[in-house]
Amino acid sequence: ARGIIADQKQMLREMGIISEYLFPDLDGEISNPNSIYKQWYTYRKQHGIKCSIHEPRHTHISLLK
């Protein structure tokens, strides 16, 4: 987990995003959940994915157990 956090912080620096948040929007502000949902909706539609944004998360957690 620490490696993932370090990678995320590095990616933000490389993109020039200065923020107190670990997963900010492109302006460095707190992410809007509706914006994330809309992006997921568009992505899944383009790639023929039928699950909600929460299903992969729950699957991943179940696999970790």
Instruction: Tell me whether residue 31 is exposed, middle or buried, using C-beta atoms within 10 angstroms of its C-beta: 0 to 12, 13 to 18, 19 or more.
Output: middle
pLDDT tens digit sequence for 3-59? 999 999 999 999 999 999 999 998 999 988 888 889 899 999 999 999 888 888 778
Q: Is the pTM of this model over 0.85?
A: no
Contact 38, 25 (CB under 8 A): no
Q: What is the band of 61 on the pLDDT scale with cuts at 50, 70, 90?
A: confident
Task: Give the pLDDT confidence score for residue 54 in this predicted structure.
Answer: 84
Nearest to 53 by CA among 64, 63, 42: 42
Both structure tokens of 6 = 């370090």
Both structure tokens of 15 = 């993109």
Task: Give the pLDDT confidence score for residue 55 in this predicted structure.
Answer: 87
Task: Give the pLDDT confidence score for residue 60 in this predicted structure.
Answer: 78
